[in-house]
């Protein structure tokens, strides 16, 4: 597939577009993780821009090599530290675009990245800031998508730049949005309102706390509760057990808002998932732990004792890391569970009734959010725009029409899904006065047509001759070349 992409991009994308269901497991989960692990061994030619933390003076020029201010709409950036469930992959993170370096890579003679432990602290922060400011200078209208940053960096980087620029972290916000959309659909099926639900999150890293944030924002938005009040409906479990305020020295900044008062749990066992489930009696159990088989029969059946339709999402991937198999969850709950997973699974069956297992895949979310951000040229991407995107995704869930259908639309419908999400994002940007693009249609149908007209299709186009002086760096094949060697600058 990589070889095809290098030889004929139109054919590559048309194959994916026309056969997305068959190709998705090859170009995405689960194959993608293996490809990233072997990036240095499979390397053919550089694709994208590589920046060196020890050569920060060159960052601005490296960024500027890719075109003029209007040439770049979207920048996807990764530091490769926390890839899927396989941890730090260093330079292999380019294929996506753990707290310690992957030593197998460090000792691999073919590894293409720096052979040393990761840089931390002020030097790392300056590196990220130099990158962000360089992008803003070279491409002032571009939207930045952060991908697979490490646990201790992802949230704080997002928190720092979200009030300043249009940016998005897929692991924090994308995972949160798609999971929340599935919960909204499950709420419709179970007939329990979001603001009345109790949530237990098993695994409170980047993805887990990102999901918690989206749930909290949505509860506050829908019910009028404060965010602190909404947060009281969420119990987070991680390596130290239930997050408690007394454990604050062991918690990340993202986990701290979900730490419970110790007095609530005085005399109660809180060091394992089963004990927490017994006490909380959750409507929703979500796993992002990468700890396989931790949603045991006892845990699932304990949960099912207290709610009619337990909502259970084992989201860890790749597949070998999921917290429970949907078939087991379905059997243990006698077909009552509403299930979504992090990887594709076949339908499950009970008493002759078949139930579709939804896949909580970020790829149905971030393309639409990015499309809306790019087309509106939004200055910022606040939580309200993500809530709008999530509602747009939830509105397309098949389960709204058939309770035995999936809680999320299929990834094969991603183009139409993206139109609806982009429309919601653009409308919210206009409502809040954040759009820099003018003449955006007001009418829903006109807006959808306007969005579709600007979406790329994998079609061969006739060549058009342009004068060299007016051609872009991409047209002249000079994108990625040093400014001093680009003819437009000569």
Task: Concatenate the DSSP letters of all residues of 227-279 into one string.
Answer: HHHHHTTEEEEETTEE-BGGGGGGS-TTTGGGPBPGGGGTTS--SSHHHHHHH
Helix (H) or strand (E) holding 313: strand 311-314
Rounded to the nearest 10 degrees, the angle between the axes of helix 297-304 and helix 273-280 is: 0
Q: For residue 347, give both structure tokens.
A: 């339908």
End-to-end CA, the chain: 37
CA distance 221 to 223: 6
Q: For residue 228, give both structure tokens.
A: 């602190």
CA distance 101 to 90: 8
Helices within 43-194 (DSSP H only): 59-64, 103-106, 121-138, 151-161, 175-190
DSSP-assigned beta bridge partners for residue 286: 201, 313
CA distance 92 to 111: 9
CA distance 193 to 147: 32
Walk along the chain (490 residues) in steps of 10 and give the mean pLDDT of each run.
83 91 78 66 71 89 89 86 50 39 53 65 93 95 88 88 94 92 96 96 92 93 91 94 93 92 93 95 96 96 97 90 95 96 92 93 91 96 93 95 94 92 97 95 96 92 85 78 54
Cβ–Cβ < 8 Å for 151, 98: yes
Q: Is 52 annotated as a binding residue?
A: no
The pLDDT value given to residue 6: 78
Q: Which CATH superfamily is domain 172-459 in?
A: NAD(P)-binding Rossmann-like Domain (3.40.50.720)
CA distance 275 to 253: 25
The pLDDT value given to residue 129: 96
Instruction: Please give the order of strands across the beta sheet that includes 74-77.
Output: 74-77, 143-146, 167-169
- Listed in sequence order, the residues at least 6 apart from 94 whose beta carbon sits closer than 8 Å to its beta carbon are 39, 47, 48, 50, 78, 80
Q: For residue 97, give both structure tokens.
A: 């675009």
Cβ–Cβ < 8 Å for 240, 262: no
Confidence (pTM): 0.84
Q: What are phi and psi of 377, to 5 degrees?
A: 55, 45
Helix (H) or strand (E) holding 471: none
Helix (H) or strand (E) holding 359: strand 358-359
Cβ–Cβ < 8 Å for 149, 79: yes
Instruction: Please give the order of strands across the beta sheet that includes 358-359.
Output: 241-242, 234-238, 199-202, 284-287, 311-314, 338-341, 358-359
SS3 of 202, please? strand
Q: Is 317 annotated as a binding residue?
A: yes
- What residue ranges do the domains of the chain occupy? 172-459
- Which class for 308: exposed (0-12), middle (13-18), buried (19 or more C-beta within 10 A)? exposed
Q: Is 8 annotated as a binding residue?
A: no
The pLDDT value given to residue 95: 47
The pLDDT value given to residue 172: 87
Whether cis (ω within 30° of 0) applies to the bond prior to 230 is: no
The pLDDT value given to residue 49: 82
Q: Among 226, 269, 218, which Cα is nearest to 244's?
A: 269
Q: Is 330 annotated as a binding residue?
A: no
Q: Is 361 annotated as a binding residue?
A: yes
- Residues marked as catalytic: 28, 100
One DSSP character per residue, 30-75 reads THHHHHHHTHHHH--S--S----TT-GGGHHHHHHTT--TTT--EE
SS3 of 332, please? helix
């Amino acid at each position: 597939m990589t070889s095809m992409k290098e030889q004929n991009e139109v054919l590559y994308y048309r194959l994916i577009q026309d056969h997305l269901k068959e190709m998705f497991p090859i170009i995405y989960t689960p194959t993608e993780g293996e490809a990233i692990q072997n990036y240095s061994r499979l390397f053919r030619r550089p694709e994208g821009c590589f920046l060196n933390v020890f050569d920060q003076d060159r960052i601005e020029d490296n960024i500027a090599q890719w075109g003029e201010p209007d040439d770049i709409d979207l920048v996807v950036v990764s530091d490769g530290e926390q890839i899927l469930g396989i941890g730090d992959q260093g330079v292999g993170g380019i294929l996506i675009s753990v707290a310690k370096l992957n030593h197998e890579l460090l000792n691999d003679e073919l590894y293409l990245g720096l052979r040393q432990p990761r840089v931390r602290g002020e030097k790392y922060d300056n590196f990220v800031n130099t990158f962000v400011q360089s992008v803003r200078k070279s491409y002032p209208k571009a939207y930045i998508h952060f991908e697979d940053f490490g646990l201790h960096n992802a949230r704080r980087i997002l928190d720092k730049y979200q009030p300043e620029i249009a940016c998005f972290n897929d692991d924090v916000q994308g995972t949160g949005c798609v999971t929340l959309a599935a919960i909204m659909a499950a709420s419709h099926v179970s007939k329990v309102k979001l603001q009345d639900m109790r949530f237990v999150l098993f695994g409170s890293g980047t993805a887990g706390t990102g999901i918690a944030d989206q749930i909290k924002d949505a509860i506050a938005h829908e019910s009028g509760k404060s965010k602190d009040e909404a947060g009281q409906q969420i119990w987070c479990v991680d390596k130290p057990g239930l997050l408690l305020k007394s454990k604050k020295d062991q918690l990340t900044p993202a986990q701290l808002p979900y730490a419970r008062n110790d007095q609530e749990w005085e005399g109660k066992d809180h060091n394992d998932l089963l004990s927490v489930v017994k006490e909380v009696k959750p409507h929703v159990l979500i796993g992002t732990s990468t700890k396989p088989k931790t949603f045991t029969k006892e845990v699932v059946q304990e949960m099912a004792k207290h709610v009619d339709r337990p909502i259970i999402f084992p989201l860890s991937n790749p597949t070998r890391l999921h917290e429970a198999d949907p078939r087991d969850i379905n059997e243990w709950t006698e077909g009552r569970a509403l299930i979504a997973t992090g990887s594709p699974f076949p339908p499950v069956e009970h008493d002759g009734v078949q139930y579709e297992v939804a896949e909580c895949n970020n790829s149905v979310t971030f393309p639409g959010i990015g499309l809306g951000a790019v087309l509106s040229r939004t200055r910022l991407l606040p939580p309200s725009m993500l809530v709008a995107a999530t509602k747009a995704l939830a509105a397309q869930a098949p389960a709204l029409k058939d309770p035995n259908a999936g809680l999320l639309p299929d990834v094969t419908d991603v183009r139409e899904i993206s139109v609806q999400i982009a429309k919601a994002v653009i409308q919210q940007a206009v409502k809040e006065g954040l759009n820099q693009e003018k003449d955006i249609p007001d009418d829903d149908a006109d807006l959808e047509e306007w969005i579709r007209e600007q979406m790329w299709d994998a079609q061969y186009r006739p060549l058009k001759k342009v004068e060299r002086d007016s051609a872009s760096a991409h047209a002249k094949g000079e994108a990625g070349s040093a400014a001093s060697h680009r003819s437009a600058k000569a």
